[in-house]
A and B are shown apart, each in its own frame.
Chain A
Amino acid sequence: MLHLVLFLIFGAVCIAGAINLLVQRHPINSALSLVVVMGSLAVEYLLLGAEFVAAVQVIVYAGAVMVLFVFVIMLLNAGEEEETRGSRVAILFGIPGLTIGSVLLAWVLIARSGTDAVTLGALPGSPRSIAQLLFKDFLLPFEVTSVLVLIAIMGAVVLAARPEAVEHTKKEG
């Protein structure tokens, strides 16, 4: 019972944060709303029994990724957004699209999911079971993903490094 109440409260906080993220016009407020969304998502994971995922969600997203976002906003000293009236295309196609999408999603969820509530510990959420999944059952996809991330990092370095800086390090080394 308490679980359900907490789940609903944090779900509401999560959605409120997401809406606030879009409504706010100052980038730093939007970034902080995103932190709230990440934090409440972590609590939802925790309530579903995936405590490891919850902790990683906080450490990686709220603690590292969003800090970099805030860092960049601070560095660029980004000001308030200009208000636009929105494009007509978005209104014409976006609203019907969104309605159809959410109806479909709701229908699939209602039709497919059972009536059993998820209980604590029913999902593979402990560090041990996640390690089993990552390093035993899905070892190859996991490692391939890490190579993909490495390629992304190298791409970022190549794109970010200015040619003169590369020349400079070549001379030094």
Chain B
Amino acid sequence: MTRRLPQVAGVALVATVLALAGTPRPAASQGAGVVNCDKCHGNRDFIDRRRDRRRADTLMYVPRSALEQTAHQTLQCARCHEQYDDGYPHDARARVVPCQSCHEQAGLDWEASVHKANATTRGDAPQCTGCHGTHQVYPTSDRRSSTHPLNVAETCGRCHADERIIGTYFSTADKATASTAVAKYYETVHGHALTSAGLTVSATCNDCHRSHKVLPSDSLSSSIHRDSIPATCGQCHEGVVEIYDRSAHGSALVRGDTTVTGHRAPSCVDCHSGHGMVRADEPSWHTGAVEECGTCHEELYESYFDTYHGKVTRLGSDLAATCADCHSAHDMRPATDTASTVHPRNVVATCQPCHEGAGAGFVQFQTHADPRDREKNPQLHFTWLFMNALLIGVLGFFAIHTTLWLARVTIDYRRALRGGGSPPAHGGGSEGDA
């Protein structure tokens, strides 16, 4: 109690000064009648004496100064707290006005979100105040705001990094990404940009998942549904998405094409996995991207690792060409497309950045040759057959040669022992020399 005294005195002093300074208070402009909330709710002593034990006094102690510089600083208490009057207990009709009455669109978006559904049924998902707070609702541009870009991950993390919430909602295998989302976010290029470089323009949770209309990726109207991802990423990465949209992947996504295995065309996060995103100039990206491409392009993946490019990359080189170095990162197109980097007309230019001086002969190298394919690669196929025959032939012949030799020497050795003589010193001259 005594420790709180200076604090209380300070607040009281501030309240008094503010009252004396004549804080603008257009009385009774909103709500019913002349209401002086500050008289009670700005009086720390009063609140402390009258507080309901069940509620934290901080909720009830709301001096006028609490709203200073917030987005709501010009609002009267009654704008949100309808039908409250001077008397106590307050009017039975008193209620908190829904935020939606002003913030209509945000309200509608929230109504459509997964948060609304769980807030209603389970009560453990956030409503407006869960993210924005109650009285200290600062504009998003204010560093103190819980929705300021530098604070969003922490705000979302209050629930999404919470063991209990993760256990309730994200414990199944298909929700694995969500279960580690916040921690992983800080390791992504977006997270690094935010925490290390302090970039407020870097994407944080709500830039991809939306602020109010938060929906899981399998929901058709979700911002992170496969079909919406290019547009979502394109809010910032406009130059990339305009290239991607024209690529084989982008156009297949729009057409809704599926592969024989039933896979849809990849959108941004299939290669730049949402919460595992790294900078493209990091070594881990260099090898990781190949794995991503390989999940669909299985044969090309296999044949890539038959080549020097693939083998050195697998050993950790970040110099040798990987998929995107030849096929381009976002503008990948079939080799039949004249705008493709691997179209015969363009392939010399594609090899040259690494192989200076490469010409028409050089590019006849088959980057995805399959020695087992006689139709496509006859020369290679027969070379491969010959080498295998040679390997098996030579080693096979000498395996027999060696085994028989060992057997013969062993037999002779035993025979010599049984015959009572000493074993042959040098083995060689047994029966033959005798």
The reply to whether chain A is a binding partner of chain B is no
Where the two chains meet, the residues of B that have a C-beta atom closer than 8 Å to any C-beta of A are: none
